[in-house]
Amino acid sequence: MEELESEISHSDSDLLRITPLGAGQEVGRSCHLLEFKEKKIMLDCGIHPGISGLAGLPYLDFSDPEKIDLLLVTHFHLDHAGGLPWFLQKTPFKGRVFMTHATKAIYRWLLSDYIKVSNISTEDQLYTEADLEESMTRIETINFHEEKVINGIKFWCYHAGHVLGAAMFMIEIAGVRVLYTGDYSREEDRHLMAAEIPAVRPDVLITEATYGTHIHEPREEREARFTNTVTDIVNRGGRCLIPVFALGRAQELLLILDDYWSNHPELHDIPIYYASSLAKKCMAVYQTYSNAMNHKIQKQLNVSNPFQFKHISNLKGMEHFDDVGPSVVMASPGMMQSGLSRELFESWCTDHRNGVIVAGYCVEGTLAKHILSEPEEVVSMSGQKIPLKLSVDYISFSAHADYKQCSEFVRAMKPPHVVLVHGEANEMGRLKAALNREYEDDPETSINIHNPKNTESVQLYFKGEKMAKVMGDLAIKRPNHGETLSGILVKRNFNYHILAPSDLSAHTNLSTSALTQRQSVSFTAPLSLLKYYLHQLSDDVVTLKMSNGREGLRIFGAITVVKEVNMLVLEWAANPVNDMYADAVLAIILRVDTDPQARKIPVQRITKPDLYREFKDRLEVMLESMFGEHSFKVVAPGEDSLPEDEIHLEIDNLEVKINSKTRAVSCPNDSQTEEMLTECVQRLYATIMPVGTA
């Protein structure tokens, strides 16, 4: 009930709505819709790695792609960018798309690889290579920390760690800031920097919750465990399979292995293969966008390129692989859904000397996740059951924030609202509870944590107090209480400025302009006749003598009428009021010109009409019809006791005096009647008398 009330009390314009269309209480297909002040922003557009075809897309039917202004993609992973070509090519989305330079460069190759690798039948394929290429032209790039303003939405991005080019987006609409982290890691590793903590505080933080309340082991320990496991496997004569996602974390593992091999000459005759043509293609990207990496590696890059590996050879495919003796093979995809890593796994899994190291996060429903529970048997691609004998180790290098990092991150910014996304429901629930616990004893901070399901909106209200700046001549003197302020209000991107019209061009890119209108109409009657009728319209009629000898009139001080041969030319400065005056003048001109009755005025009467007398007559008619002929007494003017202009009435035994010249009404005994009559007289006067008469 309370919520209902609050909804009613806040106008819709204060409502900020965050709706996960994917990755709400799940991992994969990240896609979130942010709506505020009629601006719609989509954050990421991924696909679910465990589901193929259209079903793997986010719930885009809950959005209206046509109305989305902006799409921001945090990094190149399939679960964040995989749906983009489909969204760009197959929906009426017209907005703009931004990602960082490195993301765009890798996105192109990664998705092209995805199209090739995904062994889905063609009719199930979401998009083709051609779609991908076309999507490239629509994607714009943004540099880290560079601010952009699109359609009143201001946004910029921070380094997020995780993978090369990964960004966190800060979005500001009408002063309300939302930070979307995408996937991030607060730990500096071999080549990436830790996610930055923004200097400005967001009002809403949308953060990943992948690891829930888990805490990563320290980096050194993890690396040592990894290299030890690899050494163990090869030393016992086994083959070591490391299924990895082709780009991103793989580069980190390569750096570790290459470094380890360099320091251990005894391992030199054991080959390391990296089975990815994609990685080779993207090496140039890694070499180029080194500015997005940490300082250590940048320094190293100045001397030699650490991405030129000395001990790792590229493996083009199974057919090129000479499987004799121990070896280390890194192969994609990382969750062994299909492809090379799956093939190798199936051929190696029956030998107990072999080992597999799962090095990244695994989504439910994939083989990698399945083998972590150490089953006796696994089902091969062809449907056979094969015994699982090789050793399975899980060492996470996935560079997602763990509980410690996440909690630190929240603590550093203390945003009033935190929205958890990108995490399994249970993990997310635990994280929410843990974060809540952290702040329950803290009266200083109140942090609301939300963990919406897919398509369930989080609704937040941000009451906008609209502030405007008064500038220029208008601001020379501050007005006092109760005074009136008039000027032009300029609204741009939720900023308001109030200016005098003359300052418009100095303070904005706008400028004031003026229009003049000239209209010709045929007219054969004498000008004096027109003047007579115009006098009935307005008191303000001035005769002009034009320089070229022509005669003219000026009415309302705004409309000039010039008599030409068989023609009148009206001229005025255009604005709504003058246009109306002009129309009125025009109506009279047309009547005078066309109505034979109107021309029948005797020439001697073509002077200024006695409007005052007319008013008095009409007033008497009006009063008569208002109060009835017999119920009141009209004292005729001209009687001795009365001044000429005064009208005396007696209504319901009340004495009323009306002065028809000054339009003063006096009724000493009843103010209500007096008020009513004053109004009537004024209105009649305004109706009958020409415009501009005092």
Partner 1 sequence: MTSIIKFTPLSGALNEGPCCYMLQVDEFTFLLDCGWDEEFDLKLIENIKKHISHIDAVLLSFPDAQHLGALPYLVGHLGLNCPIYATVPVYKMGQMFLYDLFQSHHNNREFDQFTLDDVDTAFDRINQIKHNQTVTLRDKGEGLSITPVHAGHMIGGTAWKIVKDDEEGEVVYAVDFNHKRERHLNGCSLFDSGDSLSSRPPQLLITDAYNAAYIQARRKLRDEQLLTKIIETMRADGNVLIAVDTAGRVLELAILLDQLWRDTRSGLHAYSLAMINNVTYNVVEFAKSMVEWMSDKIINSFTDQRNNPFQFKHLKLCHNLGDLAQVPQPKCVLASTIDMQSGFSRQLFVRWCSDPRNAVIVTGRTAKGTLARTLIDDPTISHLNLEIYKRVPLVGEELDQFERQRAAKKASEVKKFEDESSDESDVEDASKPGQVQHDFLVTADPPKKGGGFFKQAKKTYPMFPYVEQRLKWDEYGEFINPEDYRLNEIAMLEEEVEAAKPRKLPSTDEPQEVEQQDETPTKCVREILGVEVKCSVSFIDFEGRSDGESMLKIVQQIKPREVILVRGDPLATRKFSESITKLLNSGAGSTSAVEVFTPAVNEVVDTTKERHIYQVKLKDSLVGSLRFSTAKDAEICWLDAKVDYSEGLRDTAQVLSATQIAESTETSRQIRLPLDGDEEMDVDEVVMATSKSAKSETKPLKIAESEYKNAIPCLEPLNLEETPGHQICFVNELRLSDFKQVLVKEGIQAEFIGGVLVCNNSVAIKRNQQGLIDMEGCLTEDYYVIRDLLYQQYAIV
Q: Which residues from 124-143 bind partner 1, rule CB under 8 A? A: 133, 136, 141, 143
400 is catalytic: yes
Residue closer to partner 1, measured from CB, 158 or 211: 158
Residue closer to partner 1, measured from CB, 35 or 346: 35
Residue closer to partner 1, measured from CB, 238 or 415: 415
Catalytic residue (one of 400, 422, 450, 535): 400
Residue closer to partner 1, measured from CB, 463 or 605: 463
- Binding of residue 480 to partner 1 (CB under 8 A): yes
Q: How far is CA 85 from CA 69, 97, 134, 137, in A?
A: 17, 11, 8, 11
Query: Residues 92, 266, 440, 481: which binds partner 1 (CB under 8 A)?
Result: 481
Query: Residues 146, 351, 408, 679: which binds partner 1 (CB under 8 A)?
Result: 146
State in angstroms the smallest separation of the CB of 687 from partner 1: 18
Nearest 5°: phi and psi at 243?
Answer: -70, 125
In this chain, which stretch among 84-92, 471-479, 646-654, 675-683 interacts with partner 1, using CB under 8 A? 471-479
CA pair distance 35, 24, nearest whole angstrom: 16
Provide the residue type at 470 as one letter. Answer: V
In this chain, which stretch among 365-373, 573-581, 617-625, 647-655 interacts with partner 1, using CB under 8 A? 573-581
- Binding of residue 488 to partner 1 (CB under 8 A): yes
Looking at the DSSP bridge assignments, the partners of residue 555 are: 541, 559
Residues 303-342 that bind partner 1 (CB under 8 A): 303
CA pair distance 106, 137, nearest whole angstrom: 15
- Binding of residue 572 to partner 1 (CB under 8 A): no
- H helix or E strand, kind and range, residue 674: helix 671-688
Residue closer to partner 1, measured from CB, 295 or 605: 295
CA pair distance 288, 264, nearest whole angstrom: 30
Query: Residues 235, 426, 520, 607: which binds partner 1 (CB under 8 A)?
Result: 520
CA dihedral 141, 146, 151, 153 (to 10 degrees): 120
Q: Which residue matches tokens 């995805």?
A: 114
- Binding of residue 470 to partner 1 (CB under 8 A): yes
Lookup: tokens for 73: 């993609």
Residue closer to partner 1, measured from CB, 29 or 75: 75
- What are the residues whose beta carbons fall under 8 Å from the beta carbon of 238, sequence distance 6 or more? 326, 351, 353, 354, 355, 390
- The alpha-carbon radius of gyration of the chain (Å, integer) is 41
- Binding of residue 412 to partner 1 (CB under 8 A): no
* Helix, coil or strand: residue 159: strand
Query: Residues 529, 584, 586, 634: which binds partner 1 (CB under 8 A)?
Result: 586
- H helix or E strand, kind and range, residue 431: helix 425-440
- H helix or E strand, kind and range, residue 88: helix 84-90
336: left (phi over 0), alpha (psi -120 to 50) or beta: left
Residue 432 near residue 440 (C-beta atoms within 8 A): no
- What are the residues whose beta carbons fall under 8 Å from the beta carbon of 108, sequence distance 6 or more? 132, 136
In this chain, which stretch among 28-36, 103-111, 332-340, 428-436 interacts with partner 1, using CB under 8 A? 103-111
- Binding of residue 508 to partner 1 (CB under 8 A): yes
Query: Residues 181, 290, 454, 660: which binds partner 1 (CB under 8 A)?
Result: 290
Question: Considering only CA atoms, which of 59, 7, 14 is closest in space to residue 33?
Answer: 59
- Binding of residue 261 to partner 1 (CB under 8 A): no
- Binding of residue 301 to partner 1 (CB under 8 A): yes
Residue closer to partner 1, measured from CB, 172 or 427: 172
In this chain, which stretch among 27-35, 77-85, 286-294, 664-672 interacts with partner 1, using CB under 8 A? 286-294
Residue closer to partner 1, measured from CB, 400 or 417: 417
Provide the residue type at 164 as one letter. Answer: L
Query: Residues 519, 536, 673, 678: which binds partner 1 (CB under 8 A)?
Result: 519
Question: Considering only CA atoms, which of 49, 56, 24 is closest in space to residue 368?
Answer: 49
Lookup: tokens for 181: 């982290």
Cis, peptide link before residue 333, omega less than 30° from 0 = yes
Query: Residues 119, 446, 682, 687: which binds partner 1 (CB under 8 A)?
Result: 446
- Binding of residue 10 to partner 1 (CB under 8 A): yes
Residue 448 near residue 459 (C-beta atoms within 8 A): no
Residue closer to partner 1, measured from CB, 426 or 512: 512
Q: Is 642 exposed, middle or buried (0-12, 13-18, 19+ CB in 10 A)?
A: middle
State in angstroms the smallest separation of the CB of 505 from partner 1: 5
State in angstroms the smallest separation of the CB of 513 from partner 1: 5
Question: Considering only CA atoms, which of 43, 76, 264, 40 is closest in space to residue 153?
Answer: 40
- Binding of residue 99 to partner 1 (CB under 8 A): no
Residue closer to partner 1, measured from CB, 465 or 640: 465
Query: Residues 429, 472, 609, 637: which binds partner 1 (CB under 8 A)?
Result: 472
- Binding of residue 535 to partner 1 (CB under 8 A): no
Beta strands in 627-685 (DSSP E): 646-651, 654-659, 665-666
Hey, how many other C-beta atoms are within 10 angstroms of the C-beta on 304? Answer: 8
Query: Residues 124, 129, 147, 679: which binds partner 1 (CB under 8 A)?
Result: 147
Q: Is 395 exposed, middle or buried (0-12, 13-18, 19+ CB in 10 A)?
A: buried
- Binding of residue 645 to partner 1 (CB under 8 A): no
State in angstroms the smallest separation of the CB of 485 from partner 1: 5
- Binding of residue 439 to partner 1 (CB under 8 A): no
In this chain, which stretch among 59-67, 197-205, 234-242, 609-617 interacts with partner 1, using CB under 8 A? 197-205
Query: Residues 269, 322, 483, 610: which binds partner 1 (CB under 8 A)?
Result: 483
Q: Which residues are catalytic, by number?
A: 400
